[in-house]
A and B are shown apart, each in its own frame.
Chain A
């Protein structure tokens, strides 16, 4: 304990997990040893997108020496799912996407398991597939889930049985009907933009693929080791699906090698649990290959979005008609809530008096669309932020000014009827426009001040054009109304502190900020705190709903703060009684209890475990100090299913803005992002440098997402399930200049005013790039990804100029 950081909240202290991670000591599931009894599993995936399973013959696979078991959907035909129980663990009577789990093979080695998986024979009867979410939502489309009406569903999700629509969220505000915004409102609009935008499914692409190990003890105890953002949710899902008591299921999750939502909810973990059930006493391990990770785990949903938005001549937004068709893939157990989130936030961060929004989650015969960083927000902002720029241009207003004029402010009554909690989006816009060297529409390039960045003074190189673009965003944590957090704080003899939490460290820095908050609330130096959450273990860790929704800093942070205050209160009570003083006069400073009244001091060492001795050997007072705390939002209300109106739709919003500068090679269509400037209102930066690392990493993730897309052939077979064919940004692709600004408008119920900033950082990037691309080329791109080919073809509609004759 050489350095002593007092009051660490707001300071950029080092990460608590960094040392382990740079020395190779950090353990991920795949690094854990399970001994010689370990068996290996391989999942058999459907090769077809939509078919009835006529017959599964496992006899050849079972006959292979070394094979211990083969499990199919017949073994456990119960449903599984987070919000809508629409999945079987292994396909039961039909398959709905290429990659679906049909059977699981358990063998003594990976090689034998793989060989046996190839011997499982499945007879399919092909059905007509549905790939486009808009077409799939129309009457008469082939049904992917004929039993949709029979599935168990939570009370805030509204499937439409007899269709492929697994969720339909309706937002109606102002002078609107189901037919749309009234003609009277449209008549007041000086400018109206109508357009359609699309995004393909994309992959989270964490560098660690999904890994799970399961073991059933002979007494019925199930232990699951998983790379997981959701150990407690997985325990709950498995308990409900397998009929095993929660107390008999133990989920253990060490460090996670990247999540981004892909390891939220449940994926292969249930399959591995069933496979292990067939070989009780043996741990069974499945590690997804990179190809499996691309197609057979969760992906981000695709979207077809239509916008009709109008404003008056002064640039005031008057009306929005929005329809979002999310391509939810084959199972929407988690995805339904993405469409819901997109529905109650459908306007983006804008104050609009008249809104008709419809957000649908639609089954398609593609991989399972599920949670991904941003949870619907990157998808809807892609088109929305371009439409805003088009409207601004139509009425001759600068896009940044247009956004300043219309963006949500603290206290606004927003689209769902709730009052907007504390935010400052305008400052975010000001920060990023300043950082990027924004010049208002009509301002000449040369009028930039002398101190503008050097590059702004340069003209682009020959064959290159440059442009700048801006996008703003909002996002609320999308959750059930009552996701809970809990924490325990425990003192050791030397006054070091162990903090127990059930949230996961997935790279975002959660453990570090929990240590900071505990130290701050206890009054001890940061270096005295240890976070005892690696691994998160549902048998020992306090409950945490899931590591999703950018909720840990806020929710788990509140629980840690409460636990620390509980422990602090116990200490002060003991010392106050000992000194015969009022606890209100006491405080803990730097690990020492001090009295502001008597100026007495009592170090925490020893007393936090052994207590304090009375005079003359007349007994002791106190005892080991353990504090506990919880947090759960209690104020979120239901929304009217016909209008989406209600008192409190969400807990809060995080807002932000991003501006980018791009350079386009007009001869190749290659787009380079030269600079990204971001600003987010995080309420309070518990660790400013960690906020910056989120901002920087998210900017590159967002940029990369603009060039990504899963591709499929006409039968729904994935075409790019590898890093060769599906490129993610490398060190060379990432912008050299990434600027970040932190805005701090305290949140009422955030710990020290903090709110989350994990997902938001990639929400505005793709539309900001599209707006910059338009500024550079004068061409709008409505469909992601922004491939060089697509840009080239748009720049050269006549086709390439060829320098040589093509052979005939």
Chain B
């Protein structure tokens, strides 16, 4: 069965027909060609598919697209503005917070959701915000440092 939904993705309006059992992740990747959210487990365990849904970081593999009429979605494709990288993207490059890059889009979206709500988080708060985003390469050190850099220093831990 198909459902027609209207939603905003990276500031652009979309009206699309989606199947009942298709997740947001599947619709983004296979229907709309937005491939920065990655398929890592499809169980909500790894965070590689993280997008921002109505201001909150969510695993897009755990959301049914049919439920998203009226929703606002942000992905990495929408992070840079007017040809300029988002400060988080710049910081990830500067701190070498990227290795294989597969977790990177999800990490960026979790980080953005955190900073949107809490612009100056402590290291603890940053690490808690990333706990649902698994990375096998970096050991997380550089990712945390990049986010701290954007946050402009942190409160006392």
Contact = CB atoms under 8 A, between A and B. Distances in A.
B71 interface: no
A699 B139 contact: yes
B35 A256 contact: no
A678 to B, nearest CB: 11
Nearest to A737: B141
Nearest to A21: B101
A26 B48 CA distance: 14
Given A26-B101, A507-B101, A289 B42 contact: yes
Contacts of A690: 96
Contacts of B96: 14-15, 18, 689-690, 693
11 contacts: A17-B101, A22-B98, A23-B76, A23-B85, A206-B100, A207-B134, A208-B102, A290-B42, A507-B137, A696-B142, A701-B136
B150 interface: no
A255 B103 CA distance: 13
B93 A732 contact: no
Interface string B118-152: 00000100111011011111111111100000000
Contacts of A731: 126-128, 130-131, 133, 135, 140, 143-144
Main secondary structure of the interface of B (DSSP, over half): loop
B80 interface: yes
B93 A290 contact: no
Interface string A715-759: 000000011100011111010101000000000000000000000
A437 interface: no
A186 interface: no
A18 B138 CA distance: 13
Contact of A258 (B33, B36, B137): B137
Interface of B: 29, 33, 35-36, 38-43, 45-46, 48, 75-77, 79-80, 85, 89, 92-94, 96, 98-105, 108, 123, 126-128, 130-131, 133-144
B52 to A, nearest CB: 14
A271 interface: no
B136 A732 contact: no
For A17, A257, A260, A696, which residue has the most chain B Cβ atoms within 10 angstroms?
A257
A297 to B, nearest CB: 14
A18 B134 contact: no
Interface residues of A, number: 55
A338 interface: no
Interface string A529-557: 00000000000000000000000000000
Interface in A682-698: 689-690, 693, 696-698
What is the interface of chain A mostly: helix, strand, loop, or mixed? loop
A205 interface: yes
B144 A206 contact: no
A730 B144 CA distance: 12
Given A204-B136, A209-B39, A730-B140, 13 more contacts: A15-B93, A22-B76, A23-B77, A24-B105, A30-B35, A30-B38, A207-B103, A208-B102, A689-B96, A701-B136, A730-B131, A731-B126, A731-B130
A728 B131 CA distance: 11
Nearest to A289: B42
A287 interface: yes
Contact of A697 (B105, B133, B137): B137
